[in-house]
Amino acid sequence: MKASSYLIPTTKDDPQDAVVASHKLMLRAGLVRKSSSGLYSYLPLGLRILKKIEGIVREEMDAASALEFQLPILTPSEIWKESGRWDKMGKEMFRLRDRHDSESCLGPTHEESFCVLVKPMVRSYKDLPINVYQIHTKFRDEIRPRFGVIRSREFTMKDAYSFHLDDDSLDRTYQKMRTTYRRIFARLGLTTIPVQADSGNMGGSASEEFMVVSPIGEETLTLCDSCGYSGNIEKTPVVVVKNPNPKKEEEAVVETPGQKSITDVANFLSIRPENCLKAVALSCDGKYVLVFLRGERELNENKLKNHLNTNELRPMSQTELTQVGLVAGFIGPGFVPSKDLLVLVDSLADWNEAYVSGANEFDKHKKGVVLSKYFKSDEVQVLDLSQSLPGDPCPNCNSPLKAEKGIEVGHIFKLGQKYSKAFDITVLNDKGKATTTTMGCYGIGINRCMATVIEQCNDDKGIYWPISIAPFEVCLVSIAKNPEDISKIEKIYSALKASGVEVLWDDRDLGPGFKFKDSELIGFPVRLTIGKGFLEKNEITILNRKTMEETTHNFTTEENFVTEVKALLENLRKELAAKLT
């Protein structure tokens, strides 16, 4: 491809609304353009990268015996109501009514659609297992689209769904997908960590996220260097370590004017936050819930949602607090119980320890509060409801956990029979008995992978793409004005093309410095510079974009030159392939 007939709208300055490297560089390198909040158009260079990512995903899914489909993006509300997710998906689902007043949505995921499609096609155990997938557009009405295509409202996803006769079969496919995902991400040049994760609205018995460690990640990973445990902080169990000598103290009410937060109270009374009891009052889909935690801990909302089987949590309003007899900022054990209020206690709180808590009176707290004095263990549920912290014991080996930020690029689930039962997907087993199938689900964010590669592969000059997904493998920069000289360079360009090398010839009528900066910004793995040295002495300069190492070579024939370039490209492929072993 010649740059003079291509579109390369690079820009010099960072966009004002871009805050992360991938967003800035995708815009500056002319890969995408913003259409509106959370919506992006892919330009020719960006689309080439996206299609290469799709190609790698497709190759590996096909190699794993998955079958590709393409389903409608627009899905009827009936199937979502049948699975129970029409309301549970919440405001992130784009909903609409057509001229016939029929409700539909733009699919954020396609469990329901694939279940309806596959159900009449599988009748016997001989038809299973089957793994179906698509690479298609998805929509989520993000409340705060950010980081460019990492969190957008329209995106491309590979979503796959497997159907099985039993859990053993599901586990075999789940493990195959786990291996397939590691191959996919390695081929993209991504270093991923599979972590135990919360299944959220998808449901199911188990799930793993494939995370890329990054300071811009919106997820927090908990990692153990001793045993290799890895988990999403939303899922990580908090290990309870009992205090053998709980603190004892006489109860006493103290004046704490204006001290509402745990930090305020701890500072005011010269104690540590973990010596306080925190009370979190919430409305959960219309139910009122009060959770007591140790003061230094945050409520893990996902654990609470899973326990209550609820979708939406919000703080109680002042009116609701008054209704159930609670005093905002000063809630503690000893309030007048209300039948409308469910009380839960985090398992880290010691029932025999003396804490400082709210005194259920404005501007007052109480010292020496012991939970066992106020609650009976058979009347209050004690659950793991707090969020893990760095230094907590590993749930596997008790070694200290560390925390890292990460970007999720893939997620696999064991869905079990949640959707099979909802849609009554049964097959006859080998004894002729109707058996409910069990399912798995496997997703990869295609656009997000593209941005995440940039987050891992950038420097002060721009992007350096892994050769597997670079828009072009080679950028040929020519420095010549004379038609005869340009004709000589074109022979080199044609020889590279004929040998199968993906080459972009920057033949634009621009200065060398401009061309060099564009090639480094866009991130072609190899740059060839052909100018006076070539025309006079057959010298060509070769730049490795990742290392920025530049070497000059002398060639007597076009064939020798092409051989040298192909050898360099093969070395880059071998370097990437090493990640697969």
Question: pLDDT (tens digit, 9 = 90+) per residue, 115-137?
Answer: 999 999 999 999 999 999 999 99
Domain residue spans in the chain?
A: 31-71+108-217+403-455, 252-383, 464-580
How many other CB atoms sit within 10 Å of the CB of residue 59? 13
Encoded tokens for 447:
């656009």
Query: At residue 53, what are phi and psi to the nearest 5 degrees?
Result: -60, -45
Per-residue b or e along 283-299, where b marks 16 or more CB atoms closer than 10 Å to that residue's CB: bbeeebbbbbbbbbbeb
Q: Which residues contact 334 (CB under 8 A, 6 or more apart)?
A: 359, 360, 366, 369, 374
Single-letter amino acid code for the residue at 173: T
Q: Which residues contact 76 (CB under 8 A, 6 or more apart)?
A: 102, 103, 104
Encoded tokens for 413:
């689930």
3-state secondary structure of 519: helix
Question: Which alpha helices (DSSP H) does 192-343 contain, by range?
Answer: 262-269, 301-308, 318-323
* Choices 3.30.930.10, 3.40.50.360, 2.70.70.10, 2.30.130.40: CATH for 31-71+108-217+403-455: 3.30.930.10
Q: What are the tens digits of pLDDT across the range 375-394?
A: 887 778 999 999 999 999 99
Closest CA to 263 of 275, 277, 273, 253: 273
Report the pLDDT value the prediction gives residue 202, as an integer from 0 to 100. Answer: 47
The residues facing 428 across adjacent strands are 124, 434
Encoded tokens for 282:
């919430």
Closest CA to 6 of 508, 499, 488, 470: 508
* Choices 3.90.1150.10, 3.40.50.800, 1.10.260.40, 3.10.310.10: CATH for 464-580: 3.40.50.800
| Rounded-to-10 torsion of CA 278, 294, 300, 321 | -20
Instruction: Cite the beta strand spans of 362-447 per DSSP E.
Output: 364-369, 381-383, 402-416, 426-428, 434-436, 438-445
Encoded tokens for 121:
């096609």
Report the pLDDT value the prediction gives residue 65, as an integer from 0 to 100. Answer: 97
Report the pLDDT value the prediction gives residue 338, as an integer from 0 to 100. Answer: 83
User: By the 8 A CB rule, do 291 and 303 touch?
Assistant: no
| Residue stretches of the chain with pLDDT short of 70 | 198-205, 581
Q: Which residues contact 43 (CB under 8 A, 6 or more apart)?
A: 7, 9, 30, 31, 32, 33
User: By the 8 A CB rule, do 525 and 569 touch?
Assistant: yes
Report the pLDDT value the prediction gives residue 418, as an integer from 0 to 100. Answer: 92
Report the pLDDT value the prediction gives residue 557, as an integer from 0 to 100. Answer: 81
User: By the 8 A CB rule, do 256 and 245 touch?
Assistant: no
Report the pLDDT value the prediction gives residue 30, as an integer from 0 to 100. Answer: 97
Which region holds residue 368: left if phi is over 0, alpha if psi is between -120 and 50, else beta? left
Report the pLDDT value the prediction gives residue 198, as an integer from 0 to 100. Answer: 67
Q: How far apart are CA 216 and CA 22, in angstroms?
A: 10
Q: How far apart are CA 404 and CA 209, in angstroms?
A: 14
- The DSSP string of 138-192 is EE---SS-BTGGGB-SEEEEEEEEEEESSHHHHHHHHHHHHHHHHHHHHHTT---
Residue appearing with tokens 């016939």: 100
At the topology level, CATH places domain 252-383 in YbaK protein (3.90.960)
Distance of CA 5 to the CA centre of its chain: 37
User: By the 8 A CB rule, do 146 and 37 touch?
Assistant: no
User: By the 8 A CB rule, do 409 and 212 touch?
Assistant: yes
